[in-house]
Amino acid sequence: MNKREIGKSGLYASELGLGCMSIGIEEKQAETLLKTAFDEGITYFDTADLYDFGVNEQLVGKTLRAVRDEVVIATKAGNRWTDSKDSWTWDASKAYIKEAAKQSLKRLGIDYIDLYQLHGGTLEDPIDETIEAFEELKAEGFIRAYGISSIRPTVINEYVKRSNLSNVMMQYSILDRRPEVQALPILTENGVTVAARGPIAFGLLSSHWRIRLAKASKKGLSWYKEPELERTLSTIESSLPEGRTLNGLAFRYVLGHPAAATVVAGASSVEQLKENARAVQEAPLTEEEYKWIQDISKTADYDAHRL
């Protein structure tokens, strides 16, 4: 599987990354999925301290320790579980970010985190203080690079202007092209890459899209009315170029943008994981294919994510 550099960090991610939130908490199943991913050529693994109260980090670290030097482990911080564990609060303070990194390292059982990310963010955060935390963690050898996970263009712009971040994780797909206007241009200009989550748009950009369609309006695609979404998907599916599958087209479209480093997809079964690994290795899109998709799909605005 091809690899791409994450920003200017010297770290290289496989074009397909595994979103580890989907691996569950049963150790044997999680281990099977993680090992299969590695065997399929996936070397980028995304987790977070929020997932399963830290259990996800423990499973990822335990399984991948044997191939530590061959993988990129990305995790996130900023959300703090309450004592009752029924909700969480937001904390982007320097003290918390630095302590959270050390706790993640303990759960992962590793000496350093490859890519450490702020798990959200708003303009009301102490952004300079947060950046200081990341820079100090990097200088101290606890992390190799840092970034943010955000869909807020205003927040992304501030971090690009004020920090040395390497990567932004954001939702991006054929059906969610919002980043193309308000985020990707500034990232490309500054050498910051994207780890795209949701590249298959909640399963809509797969052969199972008809089953998934009824749930789409609840899944963050409100700029499409259901009949319009159905027409778009039907048109794409019925006009697929020879040698293309719908999920392969979805992956290659996102990877066609110069800012893209990796597409991060979850997988809850070995079969799904192997299909994703196959699909991402379809040929890059031609210019004609890329333009065809853009003509069929639509862009939208981040109206609800200004702060």
Q: What are the extents of the domains in the chain?
A: 3-203+251-285
Q: Is the pLDDT of residue 4 over 80?
A: yes
The CA distances from residue 45 to 7, 41, 237, 265, 268, in Å, are 17, 12, 30, 10, 14
Q: Among the listed ranges 26-30, 83-87, 150-154, 213-217, which one has the minimum average pLDDT value? A: 213-217
User: What pLDDT is recorded for position 171?
Assistant: 95
User: What pLDDT is recorded for position 304?
Assistant: 56
Q: Is the pLDDT of residue 307 over 50?
A: no
User: What pLDDT is recorded for position 46?
Assistant: 97
User: What pLDDT is recorded for position 303?
Assistant: 67
The kind and range of the H/E element at 171 are strand 167-171
Q: Among the listed ranges 75-79, 131-135, 167-171, 249-253, which one has the minimum average pLDDT value? A: 75-79
> What is the distance between the alpha carbons of residues 12 and 250, in angstroms, rounded to a whole number?
22
Say if strands 3-5 and 12-14 run parallel, antiparallel, or are unpaired. antiparallel
Q: Is the pLDDT of residue 305 over 80?
A: no
User: What pLDDT is recorded for position 212?
Assistant: 81
Q: Which pTM does this prediction carry?
A: 0.94
User: What pLDDT is recorded for position 221?
Assistant: 83
Predicted confidence band of residue 299 (pLDDT cuts 50, 70, 90): confident
> What is the distance between the alpha carbons of residues 20 and 5, in angstroms, rounded to a whole number?
21
User: What pLDDT is recorded for position 151?
Assistant: 86
Predicted confidence band of residue 85 (pLDDT cuts 50, 70, 90): confident
> What is the distance between the alpha carbons of residues 183 and 274, in angstroms, rounded to a whole number?
31
Active site residues: 51
Q: Among the listed ranges 69-78, 79-88, 132-141, 228-237, which one has the minimum average pLDDT value? A: 79-88
Closest C-alpha to 42, from 63, 66, 18: 18
CATH of domain 3-203+251-285: 3.20.20.100
Q: Is the pLDDT of residue 296 over 70?
A: yes
Tens of pLDDT along 188-239?
999 999 999 999 998 899 988 888 887 655 567 888 888 899 999 999 999 9
The CA distances from residue 163 to 3, 67, 68, 175, 186, in Å, are 25, 31, 28, 30, 13
> What is the distance between the alpha carbons of residues 282 and 276, in angstroms, rounded to a whole number?
10
